[in-house]
Amino acid sequence: MTTPHAFLGVESSILGRRWTGPDPATERAAQALVQATGLAPFLCAVLARRGVTADAAQAFLSPALRDLLPDPMSLRDMEAAAERLLLALKRRERIAIFADYDVDGGASAAQLLIWLRAMGHDATLYIPDRIDEGYGPNDAAMAALARDHGLIVCVDCGTLSHGPIAAARGADVLVIDHHLGGETLPPALAVVNPNRQDEDSGLGHLCAAAVVFLLLVELNRRLRAQSVQGPDLMALLDLVALATVADVAPLTGVNRAFVRQGLRVLARRERPGLRALCDISRLSSAPNAHHLGFVLGPRVNAGGRIGAADLGARLLATPDAAEAAALAERLDFLNTERREIEAAVRSAAMAQAETRGTDGPLVWAAGEGWHPGVIGIVAARLKEAFNRPAVVIGLEGSEGKGSARSVPGVDLGASVQRLAAEGLLLRGGGHRMAAGLTVARDQLDPAMARLAELLSRQGSGAEAPRELRLDGMLMPAAASVEAIEQLEAAGPFGASAPAPRFALAQVRIESLRRVGESHLRLSLGDGAGHRLEAIAFGAFDTPLGEALERQKGRAIHAAGRLEVNHFGGRARPQLRLDDATPT
């Protein structure tokens, strides 16, 4: 097969990447879309890359949740879970919500707490301490909850918790989860999980908060059959959107509709917790998917990482504005502290990984006393830096607790689960893109060697040229706020739906200046009086920053994503610069 020509002839950019554009078939499809729909060419280029036809274009640009929402009853055990929850309400039983300490767990718990509160029922929230208790249900906590509650609902956890669920004697347990299931299910009354091994619903791309939402849809449906009006579920979609993006679920199908609708709900600023979080984060415009993943999500996570584990869920669930403001302030402070801890661990892990070697199927690092709250973020940084699945492990005593992140096309969760089944891990589980594990210190090297072998069988580490995929070319004059808003109709962008990138050819760097320690702000001109402002985040952490400084006043090809900059109350187009090359 012939290699397509490099886009704009860029075989190796400043960052060593080969630029590739749309293939001829995609270009033809984009032209056909322009003719059939009258939509802007740059928008049609994005739609063609996503495989959207002219007949489906309007529905894609305005996805209706009612058309995409799956039937909750397509999930196994949904009927048993819904019936048991309604029975608990009828009997006025005490209900406990046991949740994971991340955004998905917090948003899942918050939905249930809000729904139950609207039904006149206050539930108990329990989130385990990351350091003292670790991920998921444990024997002591479940036994204690069972003594005082008739029903325990485990959200975003529990699918592999056979022992702890058995320890909940005297209470019924429901599991609402999305993590990869094992060969057997725990002794719960119901396990609603699209990633059970016997599940055939085709909904494995949902995060736990989306599965909880489907449960609430079914509960409301059953209430209507009894002539009872259930709580407003559409108002909960801001929580589903936040969890979907923060948990890196693919933004396709119903997930895309969840996030689109959820962002509209979030823009109304009706939830006290998210309103307070937006304010303390100094968001000057309505949040978008990027803000969910990189501004709001990390702050919600901060409590589970290095503070009180339940802070995030309490923030998302509280109806009280004063409590929300106090919780948001605390989480913002903890997030700053988390960044400092993360920077130290990241530096040590990067150095260790590079010493060990980064050209194999797996990069990994382990360190004494590395904080469990940041190892997942550092694993993600290693994955991004080396384009390999990455594992980062904090060692303490005779054990190490690790977090792992994967790359597209490599099912990390399945490999970690197999490692646990083979006895090389004390515990391990997760999903395709992320996993957690506990390993005995004396098994660390053989466990990582075996994991590398399993990942290699899936093609991890196969050398391929580093490429930057572009959707087409754009001139500065065409990059208007209106054009960017049209592009956003093809979003939201994120996992499995990358934001469109365009190249700007032969643009001159008219001015540039450093921003903070590592960022670079530029003004790019086309020689005809049109300019486009650009920002290169982290430019001086790579060769990009110094190379662009040397090109000041000269022409470059630039590549990046268009966005609207709302700084100072004015909306202006801006290029988020990803790469460049001298012309």
Separation in Å, CA 159 to CA 183, 191, 249, 252, 509 = 11, 7, 19, 25, 54
Q: What pLDDT sits at residue 172?
A: 98
Q: Where in the chain is the domain with CATH 3.90.1640.30?
A: 72-332
Enumerate the CATH 3.10.310.30 domain ranges in the chain, comma separated: 348-457
In the DSSP assignment, the letter for residue 423 is T
pLDDT of residue 466: 74
Query: How many other C-beta atoms are found inside a 10 Å radius of the C-beta of residue 347?
Result: 11
User: Which parts of the chain sit beneath pLDDT 50?
Assistant: 1
pLDDT for 465 equals 54
* CATH fold of the domain at 72-332: inorganic pyrophosphatase (n-terminal core) (3.90.1640)
Find out if CATH 2.30.110.10 is the number for domain 7-20+468-582. no
Say which CATH topology domain 348-457 has: Diaminopimelate Epimerase; Chain A, domain 1 (3.10.310)
Mapping DSSP to helix (H, G, I), strand (E, B) and coil, where does residue 359 land?
coil
Nearest-5° Cα angle at 239, 251 to 56: 30
pLDDT digits (tens, 9 = 90+) for 302-361: 998 887 899 999 999 999 999 999 999 999 999 999 999 999 999 999 999 999 988 899
- Output the CA torsion sign for 431, 435, 439, 441: positive
For 389-441, the pLDDT digits (tens) are 999 999 999 999 999 999 888 899 999 999 999 999 999 988 888 899 999 99
Give residue-wise pLDDT tens across range 565-577: 887 778 899 999 9
- Over the stretch 44-53, which tens digit does the pLDDT of each residue have? 999 999 999 9
State the pLDDT at residue 207: 97
Return residue ranges of the chain for CATH 2.40.50.460.
Answer: 7-20+468-582
Looking up tokens 């919780």 gives 327
Distance (Å) of CA 160 to CA 182, 184, 454: 7, 8, 21
Task: Say what the pLDDT of residue 1 is.
Answer: 44
| Model confidence, pTM | 0.88
